[in-house]
C-alpha cells in the first residue's frame, strides 16, 4: 500500500514538473516573438521613433541598422543624408499605426525593435533605400541580419542614398567617434 502511494506521488510530481516546464516555455515564446500595435507620434531621428500605446509613450530604436547622424548643434546639417533619412523614415511611419517586434532594450533604456508598417519591415526598407547601414556593433540576440546585409550590399552596388558618396562615405559609427 505504501509503495503504491509513493508511485502515485512520484508520478504526480513528474506530471507537475512537465506541466510547469510547458507553461514556462509557452510564456517565453511570445515574449521573444510577439509584436504589438503602436501609433508613431514622432520621428526623433533616422533610426529612433517615439510611439504611443493607449497613452503610454515609448522610445523605439530601430534594431539592426545605423543611420546617418543628425547634428547636435543648431544650424549644422549633421552627417550627409541624415536629414533625408529622417524624412524618409517619417514618410514611412509618422502618424501611422505600426507593429513592433522587440529585441530587448539598449543601454539608454530604449526598446530595440523591428518596426512594421503595412506589413513591411521598415528597418529593412531604410537599408534598401541606402539611408541606413547594417549596425556594426554587437547584434541584438535573436535578430537575423542576413536580409539587412544583403540589402546593404545591393544598395551600395546600386549607389542608392548615402552609398552615392563612394569613397567619401563615412559610417555613422565613425562619424560619432570623430564628432563626439
Q: Which of 7, 101, 110, 152 is catalytic?
A: 110
Question: 179 pLDDT exceeds 90?
Answer: no
**Residues 92 and 134 reside in one and the same domain:** yes
Same domain as 83, residue 19: no
Judging by DSSP bridges, how do beta strands 56-62 and 48-53 pair with one another? Answer: antiparallel
Sign of the CA dihedral with 84 first, then 107, 60, and 116 last: positive
61 a catalytic residue: yes
- Does pLDDT of 28 surpass 60? no
Per-residue cell: 110: 530604449
Whole-angstrom distance, CA of residue 113 vs CA of residue 154: 23
- Residue 127 and residue 57 share a domain: yes
* Alpha-carbon span 152 to 70, nearest angstrom: 21
| Residue 136 a catalytic site member | no
Q: Which of 7, 13, 18, 69 is catalytic?
A: 69
Residues 144 and 173 in one domain: yes
Neighbouring C-alpha atoms within 13 Å toward the C-beta of 120:
12
Indicate the DSSP class of residue 54: T
Q: What is the pLDDT of residues 45-76, one digit of tens each?
A: 999 999 998 899 999 999 999 999 987 777 77
Q: Are residues 63 and 13 part of one domain?
A: no
Whether the predicted pLDDT of 6 surpasses 60: no
The span from the CA of 18 to the CA of 24, in Å, is 10
CATH assignment at residue 55: 2.40.50.90
pLDDT at 17: 54
Lowest mean pLDDT among 28-32, 46-50, 115-119, 175-179: 28-32
Domain that holds residue 96: 35-179
79 and 161 inside one domain: yes
Q: Is the pLDDT of residue 82 over 60?
A: yes
Q: Total structural domains in the chain?
A: 2
Same domain, 129 and 151: yes
What confidence tier does 15 reach under pLDDT thresholds 50, 70, 90?
low
Catalytic residue among 7, 13, 61, 101: 61
Residue 96 and residue 25 share a domain: no
Say if residue 62 is in the same domain as residue 117. Answer: yes
Same domain, residue pair 24 and 40: no
Q: Give the residue, 149 or 53, on which the prediction is more confident.
A: 149
pLDDT tens digits, one per residue of 107-146: 999 999 999 999 999 999 999 999 999 999 999 999 999 9
Q: For residue 36, is pLDDT > 80?
A: no
pTM: 0.78
Q: What is the mean pLDDT of residues 96-116?
A: 96
Residues 78 and 149 both lie in one domain: yes
> Taking the chain, what is the end-to-end CA distance rounded to the nearest angstrom?
77
Report d(CA 63, CA 139) in Å as an integer.
8
Residues 6+ apart with CB under 8 A from 52: 38, 39, 41
Amino acid at each position: 500500500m505504501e509503495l503504491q502511494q509513493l508511485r502515485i506521488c512520484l508520478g504526480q510530481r513528474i506530471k507537475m514538473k512537465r506541466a510547469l516546464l510547458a507553461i514556462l516555455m509557452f510564456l517565453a515564446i511570445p515574449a521573444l516573438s510577439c509584436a504589438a500595435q503602436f501609433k508613431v507620434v514622432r520621428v526623433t531621428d533616422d533610426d529612433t521613433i517615439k510611439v504611443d500605446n493607449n497613452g503610454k509613450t515609448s522610445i523605439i530604436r530601430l534594431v539592426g541598422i545605423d543611420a546617418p547622424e543628425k547634428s547636435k548643434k543648431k544650424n549644422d546639417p549633421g552627417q550627409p543624408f541624415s536629414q533625408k533619412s529622417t524624412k524618409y523614415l517619417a514618410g514611412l511611419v509618422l502618424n501611422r499605426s505600426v507593429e513592433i517586434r522587440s529585441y530587448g532594450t539598449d543601454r539608454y533604456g530604449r526598446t530595440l525593435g523591428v518596426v512594421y508598417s503595412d506589413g513591411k519591415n521598415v528597418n529593412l526598407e531604410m537599408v534598401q533605400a541606402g539611408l541606413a547601414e547594417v549596425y556594426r556593433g554587437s547584434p541584438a540576440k535573436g535578430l537575423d541580419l542576413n536580409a539587412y546585409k544583403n540589402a546593404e550590399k545591393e544598395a551600395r552596388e546600386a549607389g542608392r542614398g548615402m552609398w552615392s558618396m563612394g569613397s567619401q562615405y563615412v559610417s555613422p559609427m565613425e562619424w560619432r567617434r570623430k564628432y563626439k
